[in-house]
């Protein structure tokens, strides 16, 4: 299960990954990101909520890497992630090191309220 929402101004992309995330969903997710990417303004923010993600099929991780590369090429400036499980946080941080440029600020929080408190989103 996943959902994507782009702000009216094209400066923020909300991503929610939840439940069990498999290869078929990853392919669909990547296809939708490809459609959305041209609508995003340079310097956009990605707000990713992984708090209800229970498990990810390991074969789907290559599509997550492709999404990160695509967002990077589209001009992402900041990534705000909610990852309550530290074990998953390590995996996503490793992927971020290889797939986002040095100019992209990546912030990880344990809850939505913490993310709102320390990193208010501009819409």
Spatial neighbors of 53 by CB under 8 A, at least 6 apart, are 17, 18, 19, 21, 88
Judged on CB neighbours under 10 Å (0-12, 13-18, 19+), 113 is: exposed
The distance of Cα 106 from the centroid of its chain, to the nearest Å, equals: 10
Give the least confident one: 77-81, 112-116, 118-122.
118-122
Q: What is the pLDDT of residue 90?
A: 64
pLDDT by residue (tens digit) across 93-118?
777 777 888 899 999 899 888 888 87
> Above 50 in pLDDT, residue 32?
yes
Confidence band, pLDDT 50/70/90 cuts, at residue 64: confident
Q: What is the pLDDT of residue 120?
A: 54
Q: What is the pLDDT of residue 55?
A: 86
Domains belonging to the chain, first-starting first, are 2-118 (3.30.750.24)
- In order of 33, 42, 46, the CA distances from 72 in angstroms are 12, 10, 11
Q: What is the pLDDT of residue 88?
A: 66
pLDDT by residue (tens digit) across 2-25?
999 999 999 999 999 888 889 999
> Above 70 in pLDDT, residue 121?
no
């Amino acid at each position: 299960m996943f959902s994507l929402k782009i702000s009216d101004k094209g400066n923020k992309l909300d991503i929610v990954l939840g439940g069990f995330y498999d290869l078929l969903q990853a392919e669909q997710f990547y296809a939708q990101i490809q459609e959305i990417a041209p609508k995003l303004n340079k310097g956009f923010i990605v707000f990713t909520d992984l708090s209800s993600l229970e498990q990810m099929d390991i074969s789907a991780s290559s599509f997550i890497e492709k999404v990160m590369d695509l967002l990077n090429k589209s001009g992402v400036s900041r990534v705000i992630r909610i990852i309550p499980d530290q074990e998953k946080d390590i995996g996503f941080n490793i992927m971020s090191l290889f797939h986002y440029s040095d100019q992209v600020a990546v912030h990880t929080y344990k809850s939505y309220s913490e993310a709102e408190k320390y990193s208010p989103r501009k819409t």
